[in-house]
Amino acid sequence: MLRVTVLVSGGGTNLQAILDAVDSGKIRNAQVVSVISNNPKAYALERAKKHGIPAVCISPKAYESREAFHEGLLAAIDEAEPDLVVLAGCLVVIPPCVIRKYRGRMINIHPSLIPSFCGTGYYGLKVHEEALKRGVKVTGATVHMVDEGTDTGPILLQKAVEVQKGDTPEILQRRVMEQAEWVILPRAIDAIANKEL
């Protein structure tokens, strides 16, 4: 059974997609064992608690230095003894100590078709604003391994989503979540759990 820890900063819609996929059997041989957020107000923490999953906030503001925060984050991840760490809307830069320890066992979901609209500063609505500004006809989402760069690790899965006339960043963001993110993130976890990826 693959033990999964999910790191998230906000509402946790990708976390919910993972939990729903575990419950429905779309993710086989895996369980979410902990949820960690850097944001004490993240609704993702509530989602985890409603599901009976240990949830903790590790906020940089609660530590006297960035190094102490990094150590606290690593300790919180280690405590759950995960086989896989999933970044599901995690807006904290993952420290090198965590990347080193979980190299090859940490994945991220990004709301574009990497290498487009990714890297430092590309998160949330900004990704979709830039896609619309550039005039692309197709966007989507990518699941990739996490390395020391921002959105630079090896790509595992991608799914394309059509941009439609009249799209706003908010409408496009929702479509990318529903048609791509919530599909390929659970699929990637299932494939890893069952040694298919």
Lookup: tokens for 176: 């990318």
Q: How far is CA 88 from CA 111, 165, 197, in A?
A: 11, 28, 19
Specify whether 110 is catalytic: yes
Backbone φ and ψ for 105, nearest 5 degrees, come out as -130, 25
Residue 31, classed as helix, strand or coil, is strand
Contact 117, 140 (CB under 8 A): no
Lookup: tokens for 97: 């100590």
Pick the catalytic residue: 70, 110, 128, 144?
110
Query: Angle at CA 104, nearest 5°, toward 5 and 181?
Result: 60
Residue 10 CB coordination number (10 Å)? 19
- 74-78 long-range CB contacts below 8 Å, 24 or more apart? 74/98, 74/101, 76/34, 76/36, 77/5, 77/7, 77/34, 77/36, 77/102
Q: What is the CA radius of gyration of the chain?
A: 16
Q: Which residues belong to the active site?
A: 110
